[in-house]
Structure 1
Amino acid sequence: MLRVSNLALPLHHADEALPAAICKRLRIGARELTRFAIVRRGNDARDKSDIQLVYVVDVQVKNEGAVLARFRKDRNVQVTPDTRYKFVAQAPAGGGFKRPVVIGAGPCGLFAALILAQMGYRPIILDRGKVVRERTKDTWGLWRKSVLNPESNVQFGEGGAGTFSDGKLYSRIKDPRHLDRKVLTEFVKAGAPPEILTEAHPHIGTFRLVTMVESLRETIEGLGGEYRFSTRVDGLDIETDADGNRRLQGLHLHDGSYLEADHVVMAIGHSARDTFAILHAAGVYVEPKPFSIGVRIEHPQSWIDTARFGANAGHPILGAAEYHISHHCSNGRTVYSFCMCPGGTVVAATSEEGRVATNGMSQYSRNERNANSGFVVAIDPARDYPGDPLAGLALQRHWEERAFVAGGSNYKAPAQRLGDFLAGKPSTTLGTVTPSYRPGVTPTDLADCLPDYVVAAMREAIPVFGRQIPGYDHPDVVMTGVETRTSSPLRFTRGSDFQSLNTAGLFPAGEGAGYAGGILSASVDGIKVAEAVARSMEQ
């Protein structure tokens, strides 16, 4: 088959226009086109008056060799790549191996466990939180009643932080093995809508993610995997030989028990701060890495739809509009939108008592009143938190504590009208834009909850973004603080074999280890690490 890319058609095109466009592009007659399938569909809305749908299609033609010869220098006409996943190993049929352990049941841990299970290694999965249904109840306990369970919340439990998000399934990773296709295919098997295989910017939404996580667990258990929920790792057993080489031997669990393990995937997520400290104290190699800090910003979704799609706002194919914007400031900082959630809500995302952190979430329909996104400023260790590798954690905690106090010390979040933020005065009331954050907001001055350099950069960027997106800088727009968990503030550095740089048998993975950002990239990293574990077990 041939893959034809960048086929652009008008938004309102007829069904027959697509096969006609394929034939025109390939310079063939209609009878020479045997069949075609849509691989991906996106949109080009740079001209709001003439929005184009952009297709990638796989086609079968009668004389493929001749057609391909005509386009041998055209990157938009190529042989369809083989995207089928191929396992790198298979467990010995008779057993006799020590079962690998996966710490964390978020996207990275789930796919590490799934691949290991599909290869026959019967992994043991440890998660400090609860099964996803019970975890959902605990999460709603914070959102509705201001009651936080530090071990079961937005960050901890089956499905990981990605369960309470927009469920975005796209990333900027480029993988010649098409591991992202493996992830999407497994998601569809688990109950995701089939269109995630073809949409340019697919998403799932929280409610569907819950049932999918349950389905993936059933698959892993059916292949011999074993889950242990409400199980936290509180220590590592590391043996050091005469030459100073370190090797993991086992795990000390919170209930005082010991689990022998010499192949452990560490997929703990970006908020397992106590576990980070345990790993650091155990001598596991770790270094600080950049992350970002800021707020969640909310606009009526209708404003964003109109700004992006003009008269075509509301078209069912286009759905709720998104945006991605950035600005390089005069103080050397970069301000950008992060994790944009169309038609969604701002949610409480803390996992520690006495602190407030925010995130964004959408359902599959994306039909809530507001759009929200992170409005954040990039920071880095050398400039902002030098010294100790864990200094970034201390910085996050400091501003989350300030936000907790500013919100009223009851898990309400501090919020401010954008106009007041620009004017440098506290908000006492809010305007026409209703905040969606649960359990509620307290109007105040967000400048008290953020570093001065972050505040200055945000104030410079707002009018710039307002020129790019009409209405972005409306004075009644609501900003809710703080957004501190854009990514892990440290990296557990690994070698080419995916093992810790100084601790054999420990495989850092996913967002918490500093190697992914989002559901799809974390899942792909989980696959890669599972493959590395299998190769190591074969040796």
Structure 2
Amino acid sequence: MAYYTLKDIKVSIYDSRELIEITASLLNIKKEHITEFKILKRSLDLRHKDKDIFYVYTFMFSLKCKRPVSDKLEIYLPEKIEEFKIDHKIKPIHRPVIVGCGPAGLFCAQTFIEHGIEPIILERGQRIAQREKDINKFINDRKVNKESNICFGEGGAGTFSDGKLTSRSKDARQNIVLNTFVKYGADESILYDNKPHLGTDVIKKVITNMTDDLISKGADFRFNAKVENVMLKDNTVCAVSGHGFEIKADTVIFACGHSARDVYEMLNNMGAAIQSKPFAVGVRIEHKREDIDRLTYKQHYLKTPLPAAEYILKYQDASDRGVYTFCNCPGGLVIPCITEEGMLCVNGMSYSKRDGENTNSAIVVTVDQKDFGSMHPLAGIEYQRQLEHNAYVAGGANYSAPIMYCKDLLTHTDNKGFSDVRPSYLPGVIQADLHDCIPQNILNCIKNALDDFGRKLNGFNSGKAILTAVETRTSSPVKILRDENLQSINIKGLYAAGEGSGYAGGIVSSAIDGIKAAQGCINILSNN
């Protein structure tokens, strides 16, 4: 049976017809003649919102009638995906060890399982249910749990995020990632939406189901198992150890996320090739969600159902620094991503419905070795720590976050028509001068960007918007140098994957990196 596609079909948000009915109308056939109808792509087009807003679709379907004459109708040609295959069964001497249970670690484990290899996964934190209890305990008593928190534990830092599944990667393995999420409970819309997201509530369910399934298939997950040492023999991995355990291993994949500073320190001390890399720092800005929706959708706001509005804003400062919004969380919360005592840093999180009171996003400025003041591989970490400690002190040294209203930072703001914003950060906030915790040159860039963003999205720089400090965990501050198989360039058997490796950013690209790491290991094992 032949399958067909219709591409770039624009449908007004006010068009109440069924999509299959719209398709039939375009082809001048009866809708009963269309079978196996499926959405392949969907995006929201706001370019002409002064007049109308459109969803843009690509459809796939088969026909029970003669092919109609239409320039828009094409034969569907499925994307060819090169399958990773090994001709013979591999039996490693030791089970591969994966350090970290975020997207990279989980998809690395899944890839091993698919090839008949049962890995051991060592996660310093706890499973999601216990993580939630530990996070709530921190919010209530303000005592940092350095191992089980918003950054560490089953699912990694992405578990408590907006759950964005966008990726700039063109790697076909992203289809594996998205289909895996659907298999474990995500809505099928993530397969075709231009900007798919899960939300923290759905991520928790998906990750829990994935872990349970991998355990049932032979993967050995060990939680509360922090790796503290990697033992080498002739510059080759021979074992890993931590409190109460030692495991013989000749293959260790570090998939420990961008906040595992003690891991970076350990790898640097053992001589692994590491270098510092640029990242970005700044603040979280919060507006009322209804204000961002109104600014975005203009006269269409509230006239017909529309998703909570998203934005991406960029600015190039005269100082030659890039400033941009990052990890926009419509209807979301500002959350603590604290992993060390005496430090304070924030991130954003949304639920799947994105229906919370506020919308937040980071506004961050690129920083590099000139800002770190050192070429040392770990200099970026010390720069992060300096800013985080400054924010901790500015917030009263009790994990309250320092906040500042835009009107107190900017010379010119517009409050007309804008709602008062209640800060969402828990355990609490305190009004402070952000000059006390963010370098002047970085804050100047943020101020200039806010003026620019206010022109691009009229009112974005409302004086009532709240700025919460400090955002530092935008990406890994280090890069672990690796070869084409993702193995360390100078230590045999040591691999690095995901955000912590310095090569990935976000859930999907980290998951792809985890798949590639396992495939790299299998390549090497198959040739030995």
Contact conserved, 1:37 with 1:57, CA < 8 A, in 2?
yes
Query: Residue 192 of structure 1 aligns with which residue?
Result: 186
Contact conserved, 2:24 with 2:30, CA < 8 A, in 1?
no
Query: Residue 59 of structure 1 aligns with which residue?
Result: 61
Match of 1:251 among 224, 227, 240: 240
Q: 1:513 to 1:3 in 2, by over 3 A?
A: farther
Deviation of 1:43 after TM superposition, in Å, equals 0.6
- The one-letter code matched in structure 2 to 1:536 is I
Query: Residue 166 of structure 2 aligns with which residue?
Result: 170
Contact conserved, 1:91 with 1:120, CA < 8 A, in 2?
no
Q: 1:285 to 1:64 in 2, by over 3 A?
A: farther
Q: 1:491 to 1:65 in 2, by over 3 A?
A: farther
Deviation of 1:269 after TM superposition, in Å, equals 0.3
Query: Residue 78 of structure 2 aligns with which residue?
Result: 81
Secondary structure of the 1:279 match is helix
1:284-339 CA-to-partner distances (Å, cap 9, x unmatched) read 11111110000000000011101111232246753100000010011111110000
Is 1:464 aligned to 2:460, yes or no? Answer: no
Deviation of 1:143 after TM superposition, in Å, equals 2.4
Match of 2:195 among 201, 213, 216: 201
Secondary structure of the 1:252 match is strand
Q: 1:319 to 1:328 in 2, by over 3 A?
A: same
Query: Residue 243 of structure 1 aligns with which residue?
Result: none
Query: Residue 522 of structure 2 aligns with which residue?
Result: 534
- The one-letter code matched in structure 2 to 1:209 is I
Query: Residue 332 of structure 1 aligns with which residue?
Result: 320
Secondary structure of the 1:50 match is coil
Is 1:518 aligned to 2:506, yes or no? Answer: yes
Deviation of 1:118 after TM superposition, in Å, equals 2.1
Q: 1:39 to 1:530 in 2, by over 3 A?
A: same
Matches within 5 A, 1:128-167: 128-167=124-163
Matches within 5 A, 1:468-507: 468-507=456-495
Query: Residue 99 of structure 2 aligns with which residue?
Result: 103
Q: Partners in 1 of 2:41 and 2:305 — Cα distance? A: 13
Q: 1:529 to 1:28 in 2, by over 3 A?
A: farther
Match of 1:310 among 281, 291, 298: 298
Query: Residue 13 of structure 2 aligns with which residue?
Result: 11
1:371-411 CA-to-partner distances (Å, cap 9, x unmatched) read 00001101122554431010000000000000000000000
Contact conserved, 1:151 with 1:351, CA < 8 A, in 2?
yes
Secondary structure of the 1:479 match is strand
Secondary structure of the 1:318 match is coil
Contact conserved, 2:13 with 2:304, CA < 8 A, in 1?
no
TM-score (norm 2): 0.92
Q: Partners in 2 of 1:406 and 1:64 — Cα distance? A: 72
Deviation of 1:18 after TM superposition, in Å, equals 5.2
Contact conserved, 1:342 with 1:362, CA < 8 A, in 2?
yes
Q: Partners in 2 of 1:78 and 1:381 — Cα distance? A: 52
Q: Partners in 2 of 1:416 and 1:152 — Cα distance? A: 29
Contact conserved, 1:138 with 1:148, CA < 8 A, in 2?
no
Secondary structure of the 2:499 match is coil
Q: 1:239 to 1:96 in 2, by over 3 A?
A: closer
1:99-146 CA-to-partner distances (Å, cap 9, x unmatched) read 111100011111111121122101100001111111111111222331
Q: Partners in 1 of 2:429 and 2:354 — Cα distance? A: 22
- The one-letter code matched in structure 2 to 1:111 is F
Query: Residue 222 of structure 1 aligns with which residue?
Result: 216
Secondary structure of the 2:146 match is coil
Query: Residue 415 of structure 2 aligns with which residue?
Result: none
Q: Partners in 1 of 2:259 and 2:5 — Cα distance? A: 41
TM-score (norm 1): 0.90
Query: Residue 262 of structure 1 aligns with which residue?
Result: 250
Q: Partners in 1 of 2:18 and 2:187 — Cα distance? A: 25
Secondary structure of the 1:503 match is coil
Is 1:46 aligned to 2:42, yes or no? Answer: no
Query: Residue 36 of structure 1 aligns with which residue?
Result: 37
Deviation of 1:47 after TM superposition, in Å, equals 2.2
Contact conserved, 1:122 with 1:226, CA < 8 A, in 2?
yes
Structure 2: runs of 5+ lacking an equivalent: 413-418
Q: 1:537 to 1:519 in 2, by over 3 A?
A: same
Q: Partners in 1 of 2:316 and 2:187 — Cα distance? A: 38
Query: Residue 409 of structure 1 aligns with which residue?
Result: 397
Q: 1:369 to 1:203 in 2, by over 3 A?
A: same
Match of 1:113 among 85, 109, 113: 109
Deviation of 1:80 after TM superposition, in Å, equals 3.0
Q: Partners in 2 of 1:121 and 1:315 — Cα distance? A: 54
Query: Residue 274 of structure 2 aligns with which residue?
Result: 286
Q: Partners in 2 of 1:355 and 1:30 — Cα distance? A: 64
Structure 1: runs of 5+ lacking an equivalent: 241-245, 425-430
Query: Residue 427 of structure 1 aligns with which residue?
Result: none
Secondary structure of the 1:258 match is strand
Query: Residue 451 of structure 1 aligns with which residue?
Result: 439
- The one-letter code matched in structure 2 to 1:11 is I
Identity %: 38
Deviation of 1:3 after TM superposition, in Å, equals 4.1
Contact conserved, 1:286 with 1:491, CA < 8 A, in 2?
yes
Q: Is 197-206 or 412-421 further displaced after alignment? A: 197-206
Secondary structure of the 1:295 match is strand
Match of 1:434 among 398, 422, 435: 422
- The one-letter code matched in structure 1 to 2:14 is H
Contact conserved, 1:88 with 1:535, CA < 8 A, in 2?
no
Q: Partners in 1 of 2:24 and 2:140 — Cα distance? A: 52
Q: Partners in 2 of 1:378 and 1:274 — Cα distance? A: 23
Match of 1:419 among 398, 404, 407: 407
Query: Residue 374 of structure 1 aligns with which residue?
Result: 362
Q: 1:6 to 1:401 in 2, by over 3 A?
A: same
Q: 1:387 to 1:78 in 2, by over 3 A?
A: farther
Secondary structure of the 1:108 match is helix
Contact conserved, 1:85 with 1:179, CA < 8 A, in 2?
no
Q: Partners in 2 of 1:179 and 1:325 — Cα distance? A: 28
1:403-453 CA-to-partner distances (Å, cap 9, x unmatched) read 0000000000110011101249xxxxxx92111000111101111111221
- Across the aligned residues of Structure 1 and Structure 2, the Cα RMSD in angstroms comes to 2.5
- The one-letter code matched in structure 1 to 2:362 is G
Contact conserved, 1:142 with 1:348, CA < 8 A, in 2?
no
Secondary structure of the 2:131 match is helix
Query: Residue 118 of structure 2 aligns with which residue?
Result: 122
Contact conserved, 1:58 with 1:80, CA < 8 A, in 2?
no
Contact conserved, 2:288 with 2:420, CA < 8 A, in 1?
no
